Amino acid sequence: MASLQGRVGAGRYISGSQVDIALDRHGGVVTSAIYGRYTEAVIRGQVFGGATAAAGVAPGTALGTTGAHSLVNPAGSGVYTAVLQSSMGYVSGTLGAGMVVYAANVNPIAAAVTGTDITVRNMLLGGARSDGQTIALTTSTLPVAPDIIRPAFLLDASLATTAAVGAKPMVDYVDGAIVLAPGSTLTLHGIAAAGSSPRVVFGNIWAELPA
């Protein structure tokens, strides 16, 4: 059986050197992050992002066949869509108390999800890369009411004059814990009181991997 060996402790090397793997005193492999966690995937053109329009969208009050914001991995896309981050920012109106949830449609032969297309950007900004296979939508129409996966963001009964509202966007670091197979849809939608003309912007960043 082959074994993997390395050198315990730090070393100093010049560029181009062939060196041993660094180990700690308990035999663990020592690693060091030179870049951010997604930098390599971004440079390879595998990471994408999209957000609802600047005017915002109503977060919603109950799950049904209308979704505030959806990511759709079309049947036959040939990729898995791994959600890395989701975010929500306040725009205007009075929010209703409740929460925004992740909810899923997973029947690949159901009617296609439709809605207003969101411009998807490759996160290698300015690079000659494709904009991927995943479709991002505002105010989507779903074939059936989706199933809740987990809460995403909390909504409180606040408005523009509330001191804390809009101080910074809410961000959920999903880190690939939600993956859409071809033919599935992930929706961000509110289960909350109606409020008064509430508007928020939803955003997502995801990676596409060969299916």
| Residue 35 burial by Cβ neighbours in a 10 Å radius (0-12, 13-18, 19+) | exposed
Model pLDDT, residue 25 = 73
User: What residue ranges do the domains of the chain occupy?
Assistant: 41-210
Angstrom CA distances, 8 to 16, 17, 18, 179, stand at 20, 17, 16, 37
Give me the mean pLDDT over the 101-123 stretch.
96
Give the predicted TM-score (pTM) of the model.
0.86
pLDDT in tens, 2-29: 566 666 666 677 777 777 777 777 777 7
